[in-house]
Amino acid sequence: MLQADSAGNRLVGIGLVSVTYVLFTLLDGSAKWLVGSVPVIVVVWLRFAMHVVVASIVLFPLRGASLVKTGHLRWHVLRALMFVAMTGINFWALQYLQLAVTSSIYFVVPIIIALLAAPLLGEKLDRGRWAAILAGFAGVLVIVRPWSAEFHPAMLASIVNAVLYALFNLMTRRLAAYDSPETIQFLPAVGAAIVLAPFALAAWQSPAGWLEWSVLCLLGVCGGLGHYLLALAHRYAPATVLAPFLYQQVIYMAIFGYLVFGDVPAPAVWTGAAIVVASGLYLFARERARR
């Protein structure tokens, strides 16, 4: 087991998680482009199918049968079902929302984790943490603006996705102490591909050409490698060190959205994102000081 409290390991963990969010940006951006011509359910299934194929080719020669051995199968099954739900919701929402909007809403995940830590982990929330949590949700309201003409129901779907991802992240941290990063990213992808196969085949619409197929392969590589690096990063550094680096993703999302789709985020998106980021950073600072 790695010593997560060493300075060298913390730097490795930060580097791994930074690469992870570049890969997740490529994953979401590619999915947004694909769902314009391919049914969402087909894109989601092929994302997991390609993930399994690529991971199998790379990991089975290295790990052999140990890749699929675990003493926590129930957790992996639950994570597979959550994987399906999160990816489906996210890819559907990306049809209607800018990448910077979905990523800014996603930034509420650390705040949701802080809120869930009270009932699930028995942690107490003081006034400062409650203020940060409320401010974070206020920032999401600024981004979503349910009172404005720019509001879209897909924004609510992204909020639901953030809650699911917060729970998913807590389970990933738990499993990282017992199973290898390879197993943690591989088994849920296999489960998701199996669950979705009949639905995707029933709605099958073949991608148009080599470019679409190439991007679909990219989904599998980015998804599999990204989740592997995320699990690996938690073996090198504690969550309180890694979590603040989540916020760099909005920069990648905004650049990708502008270059590929010509999207320019509204001022309200940046304002709300800044509030959410400030709330999250405050929570991280309090958690590090407490530890």
- pLDDT tens sequence across 214-264: 898 888 889 888 878 887 887 888 776 787 788 888 889 999 999 999 998
pLDDT > 90 in the chain, percent: 32
Is there a domain that residue 274 lies in?
A: yes
| 82 within a domain of the structure (yes/no) | yes
Residue at 147 is within a domain: yes
> What's the mean per-residue pLDDT of the chain?
86
**Domain region containing 269:** 7-290
Say if 281 falls within a structural domain: yes
Write the pLDDT tens digit of every residue in 42-51: 999 988 998 8
Residue 1 lies in a domain: no
Instruction: Pick the more confident residue, 3 or 79.
Output: 79
Residue 256 is predicted with a pLDDT of 93
Does 277 fall in a domain? Answer: yes
Q: How confident is the model at residue 4 (pLDDT cuts 50, 70, 90)?
A: very low
| SS3 category, 102 | helix
pLDDT (tens digit per residue) in 123-149: 677 788 888 888 888 988 899 888 777
Domain count for the chain = 1
> Is 11 part of a structural domain of the chain?
yes
Distance CA 234, CA 4 (A): 8
**Which residue pairs from 177-180 have beta carbons closer than 8 angstroms and sit at least 24 positions apart in sequence?**
178/70, 178/71, 178/72, 179/70, 179/72, 180/63, 180/66, 180/67
* pLDDT class of 1 with cuts at 50, 70, 90: very low
> Which amino acid is present at 161?
N
For residue 263, being part of any structural domain is answered with: yes
